[in-house]
Structure formats: C-alpha cells, structure tokens
Structure 1
Amino acid sequence: MGRVDGKVVAITGAARGQGRSHALRLAEEGADIVALDICQEIPVADYGMASGTDLEETAELVRKTGRRAVVKQVDVRDRPALDRAFTEAVEELGRLDVVVANAGISPVGMNRPLSAFTETIDVNLLGSISTVHAALPHLADGSSIIVMGSVAGLAPELAGNGVAGPGGYGYSFSKKTLIDYVNWLAVQLAPKGTRVNAVHPGNVATRMVQNESTYRTYRPDLENPTEADAEVLFRNFHAMGVPLLDPIDISHAVVYLASDESRYLTGVQLKIDAGALAQREIQR
C-alpha cells in the first residue's frame, strides 16, 4: 500500500511545475487527484501560464499510475468558481482528504506596475486562503491542509529587496502573511485532528524562476542574461551550492504532510531551502 493510499488530494496550480510534481508523487503513493489550474494568461506575470493541454497532461500522467484524476480549470481568485469545482470533484470522487494550496505567481522586476503588487497578493495570498476555505466544508476530521509558502516569507527582504520591484514585495507580503494564517488556522482545526502546515521552498526549477524576466531582474549587469548567468546567484543563495531545487524535493515533503505519518504535525513551517536561511542567519 502507498503512503496516501485511498486518499483524494486537491492541488491548485497543478498543470505544471511544482503542482504537477506533487500530483504525480501523491498518485504514485496511492492518491486520487483533483488537479486545478487557471490555464489562462495572467499578463502581469510577464511569463507564460500553463495551458489546458498542460493540465490534461498532468491528469494523464496521474492516470498512468493507476489512480483517478479530475481536472478543473479555475481561477483561485474566483471563490464561487472554487466552491463549484470542489463540490463537483467531491461528487465524482466521493471524498476529499487533502488540499494543497500551491498556485502562485512571481512578477519580479523594477519597472513593473502597481498591479504586480496587488495581483500577486490576489493570487498568492487571497487565492490560497480561498482555496482552503472552499475545501473546508468537504474535508473530514483528520484531514491535511498544506499551504505552499516560500523562504521569502520567512525572510521577506529576500524578495522585497527593491530589485524585485512591486511584484517582489507582493510576493514577500503574501508568503509572510500565510505564515500567520497557517498558525492561527492550525489552532482552530486542531480539535478535529485536522492539520494545517506550510512548506517553504528555496528557488525551485520551475517556470516561475526560469524565465527571462527573472534573469533580467537578478542579472541587471548583463544585457541579455541567460539561465546560466542567473544560476551563479542562485548557487550562492543556497548554502548547499545547488542553483535550483528540483520540484520532487518539495513533493517528498508534501507526501509526508499529506500522509498519516504526520498526524500530529500542525502549525509547522517546513523550510526546504538547501541551507539558504541558515546561511543568511550566520552571515548577519
């Protein structure tokens, strides 16, 4: 039996990147998956969003493991749409045991509009909260809620350092605020045995980081920076010397928090950052 055998897990931002990785790793351990994604462009992000084809590919990869998959194209900023999506998915799959609030954007850059700040908060903060709240009526006692944070929440100046612009500040504010949200909600749900935890990755090899806008932001000294140019900074950021974490490194933690192995873990802020924050602390 798998570690989450028979559970139903809903994941936002599931069409690619970390969301797809979480979906596949959980399916390999026995979970059925509700894969949600906007599958539309968010122009302020300045890098392409996943498509409906990407979302269907995630579902097919899940089905190849022998597990069921339900897909929903939904914007996490649209609470009524989220409510409908969860209701329909539970009607089809019969239950909901875990929700992973993973969807997010990172529109970094000095010359970005104010909307880079506001829309990042709408997606990363309000969207995460709306996802959890839409799922709550369907979650049985003893369920697991997993919120995807960031090292930028644990050390906000890492993203809100001026260079990242209004989007960087919006990203930091969102992830920092989610820390308090997780702690307070964990206490509210603890009597039901339902856990609420956050995972805080360092820089992960997904389109959110691997895009021209990010390269230009962090290598302004170069006219046309490449991924290799940016990796010099990313490697120095992580104490363990890896430029970017693999999505699967985050997914392993998600599986643990989704499983009954973590039944007494709640209110945990789990950092997976290859020593980035520890290095920062001793260098102060």
Structure 2
Amino acid sequence: MGRVEGKVVVITGAARGQGRSHAVRLAEEGADIIAIDLGEDIEVVGYPLGTAEELAETARLVEKTGRRVVTKLADTRDRAALRQAIDEGVAQLGRLDVVVANAAIGPVGADRPLTAFADAVDVNLSGTLNTVHAALPHLQEGASVILIGSAAAYFAAYGSDPGGMGPGGIGYAFTKQMLGHYVNWFAPFLAPQGLRINVVHPTNVNTPMLHNEAMYKVFRPDLEHPVAQDAEPGFSMVQALPIPYVEPIDVSHAVAYLASDESRFVTGTQLRVDGGAVVKNGK
C-alpha cells in the first residue's frame, strides 16, 4: 500500500516543474490528484509559464500510475475562481486530504519594473493563502497543508539586492519569508481541528524558473545573452554541498513525507531541502 493511499491531493502550479513532480510522486504513492494551473503567461515574469497542454501531460503521467486526476485552469490570485476549481475537483473525487500550494513566479532581473514586486506578492503570497483558504472547508481531521517556500527566505536582508535580483526577485524572497511566518502563526489555529500545515524550502531547483535567461543574467550580468553553462558555476556557489541545484523529485520526496501519516505529528515546520544553502549563506 502507498504512503498516501486513497487520499486526494490538490496541487497548484501543476502543469510542469515541481508541481508536476509532486503530482506524479504522490500518485505513485496512491493519491488521486486535483491538478490546477493558470495555463497562460504573466507578462512581468520574463519567461514562459506552464500551458494547458503541459497540464494535460501532467494528467497523463498521473493516470499512467493508475490513479485518478482532475485538471482545472484557474488563477490562484482569484480566490473565487480557485474555490470553484477546488469545489469541482472535490465533487468529482469525493474528498480532500492534502493541499500542496506550489504555484509561484520568479520575476527576477534588474530590468524588471517596480510592479514586479507586487506581482510576486499577488501570486506567491496571496495566491498561496487563497489556495489554503479555498481548500479549508473541505479538510477534515488528519489533513495536511504543504506550502512550497524557498531557501531565499533566509537570504534576504532589508535594503539589499544580492546579485541584482531586482524588485521582482526581492518580492520573491519577501513572499517566501512571509510563508514561513504564516505557517508559524496559523499552525496553532489549525491544530485543534487536527489539521497540519508546514512549509518546504528548496534551494535552486532544476525547473524553468531557474533555467531562463533572466535568471542566468543574475548570475552572469557581464554577458548579454548568458546560457545555462555560463550560470551553473554561480548556481553551485549557493549550496554547501557541491551541486548546482536539486531536482524536483528531491522536493517531492519531502512533500510525500508531509502528505503522509508518517508526519502525523509534524506541524509548523520549516523543512529545508537546500543542499546546505542556508547554513552556508543564511543571515
């Protein structure tokens, strides 16, 4: 029997990257999946986001494991639309046991407008809270809420812009800090109902959020059009372990643990999958 056998999991940002990895990993462990994604680009981001076609591919990979999947296109910034998507998914699959609030953007770069800060907050912070609170009416005792944060939450300092991340990059770090605070504040309110909430903080992850020219320029501002090979030495400097990044599945293993009853008494935790990045660079 799988570690989350018979559970139903909602995952945002499920079209590709970490979200797809979480969906497939949890399906392999016996869960049915409600996979949600925006399915279109956000102009300020500077790199393409997941598509409806990629969300359909996530569904195909979940179904390949033998589990059920419902896909929905919804904007996490719109709580009403998100609530409708979750409600419809629960109506089809019968219950909801786990929430993985994964959807996020990384609008980095010194050339990003000031509005990139607000856009990062809208998606990464408000969108995450919208996901949790749209799902709460369906959750029963034993349910698990998992937020996807970032080791960047530990690096940001007031008045600094390390590496020329720009307002969007600083907004990204700010939102991930706030997710940690949200878990600390909210876990005691959920606990009397038997509900758990935790956050996973990955370092660099091998996804399109890392692999795009805007991010490469942060690490190689001296080059007009840097490519992955140019930026990889910089990626490797972030972690204490000799790696440039972790794979999505490395984060999914942590998600699977927090989704399972193995972590039934774990709540309010900040779980780092960071290759030692925080102990090397954290403030």
TM-score tier by shorter-chain length is over 0.9
Secondary structure (helix, strand or coil) at the match of 2:33 reads strand
Aligned 8 A contact 1:110 1:162 in 2: no
Matched with 1:78 is 78
Matched with 1:150 is 150
The residue type paired with residue 143 of structure 1 is A
The residue type paired with residue 134 of structure 1 is A
Once residues 157 and 32 of structure 2 are traced to their aligned partners in structure 1, the CA distance between those partners, rounded to angstroms, is: 38
Aligned 8 A contact 1:160 1:172 in 2: no
- Within 5 A, what are the aligned runs for 1:151-190? 151-157=151-157, 160-161=161-162, 163-190=164-191
What is the Cα deviation at residue 162 of structure 1? Answer: 6.0
CA RMSD of aligned residues (A): 1.3
Once residues 223 and 132 of structure 2 are traced to their aligned partners in structure 1, the CA distance between those partners, rounded to angstroms, is: 41
The residue type paired with residue 221 of structure 1 is D
Once residues 6 and 70 of structure 1 are traced to their aligned partners in structure 2, the CA distance between those partners, rounded to angstroms, is: 15
TM-score by length of 1: 0.97
The residue type paired with residue 102 of structure 2 is N
Secondary structure (helix, strand or coil) at the match of 2:48 reads coil
Matched with 2:272 is 271
Secondary structure (helix, strand or coil) at the match of 1:156 reads coil
- Within 5 A, what are the aligned runs for 1:87-126? 87-126=87-126
Matched with 1:243 is 244
- Within 5 A, what are the aligned runs for 1:33-72? 33-72=33-72
Once residues 140 and 146 of structure 1 are traced to their aligned partners in structure 2, the CA distance between those partners, rounded to angstroms, is: 15
Q: Is 167-176 or 215-224 further displaced after alignment? A: 215-224
Q: Is 24-33 or 179-188 further displaced after alignment? A: 179-188
**Structure 1 moving runs of 4+ over 3 Å:** 157-160
Aligned 8 A contact 2:163 2:218 in 1: no
Aligned 8 A contact 1:13 1:103 in 2: yes
Q: Deviations over 1:242-281 (max 9, x none)?
A: 1011000000000000000000000000011001111225
Once residues 160 and 111 of structure 1 are traced to their aligned partners in structure 2, the CA distance between those partners, rounded to angstroms, is: 13
Matched with 2:281 is 280
The residue type paired with residue 46 of structure 2 is D
Aligned pair in 2 of structure 1 residues 157, 225: CA closer, same or farther (>3 Å)? farther
Aligned 8 A contact 2:155 2:281 in 1: no
What is the Cα deviation at residue 218 of structure 1? Answer: 1.7
Once residues 272 and 36 of structure 2 are traced to their aligned partners in structure 1, the CA distance between those partners, rounded to angstroms, is: 24
Structure 2 spans left out of the alignment, 5+ residues: none
Matched with 2:234 is 233
Aligned 8 A contact 2:109 2:218 in 1: yes
Aligned 8 A contact 1:145 1:195 in 2: yes
Aligned 8 A contact 2:140 2:194 in 1: no
TM-score by length of 2: 0.97
Q: Is 214-223 or 259-268 further displaced after alignment? A: 214-223
What is the Cα deviation at residue 160 of structure 1? Answer: 4.2
Q: Deviations over 1:54-84 (max 9, x none)?
A: 0010001000100000000000000110110
Matched with 1:211 is 212
Matched with 1:27 is 27
What is the Cα deviation at residue 157 of structure 1? Answer: 4.0
Once residues 207 and 175 of structure 1 are traced to their aligned partners in structure 2, the CA distance between those partners, rounded to angstroms, is: 18
Aligned 8 A contact 2:146 2:258 in 1: yes
Secondary structure (helix, strand or coil) at the match of 1:266 reads coil
Q: Deviations over 1:196-232 (max 9, x none)?
A: 0000000000000100111112201123211011110
